[in-house]
Structure 1
Amino acid sequence: MPFVPLDYETLRLIWWLLLGVLLIGFAIADGFDLGVAALLPFVGKTDVERRQVINTIGATWEGNQVWFILAGGAIFAAWPFVYAVSFSGFYLAMFLVLAALILRPVGFKYRSKKADPAWRSRWDWALFVGGFVPALVFGVAVGNVLLGAPFRLDSDLRTFYEGSLLGLFTPFSLLTGLLSVTMLVLHGAGWLSLKLEEGPVLDRALKFGKIAALASLVLFVLGGVFVAYGDMGYRLAAEADPAGPSNPHLTGAVAATGAWLDNYAAHPWMLIAPVLGLLGPILAFLGISGRKHVLVFTGSTLANVGIIATVGLSMFPFILPSSIDPASSLTLWNASSSQGTLFIMLLVTLIFLPIVLLYTAWAYKVMFGRVTDEEVRLNPDFY
Structure 2
Amino acid sequence: MRYLFVLSWLLFLFCIGNTKIVLDLFRQETPRQSILKSPNIPEHGIWIDWLKESYEKKKNYTRTNDTIPLLRFLDTEFYALIGIGSPGKPMKVIFDTAWSTTWMMSNDCPIKPMKVIFDTAWSTTWMMSNDCPIKTVGCWFHNKYDHKHSSKYVKDGRPYNNNEGTYNLTGYYSRDELKIAHTVINQTFVEMTSVPYWYIFTKADGVVGLGLPQNDINPFLQNVLNQTNITKPIFSIYLNRDKSSKKGGSIILGAIDKKHIHVTNKVPDKITYVPINSASALWEFSIDRIFFEINRKIITICENDCTGLADTSTNSVNLQDIFRNQSQDNHNLRE
Q: TM-score, normalised by structure 2?
A: 0.28
* Rg larger in structure: 2
Q: Which has the higher strand share?
A: 2
Judging by fraction of residues, say which structure has more helix: 1
Structure possessing the higher relative contact order (Cα contacts under 8 Å, 6 or more residues apart): 1
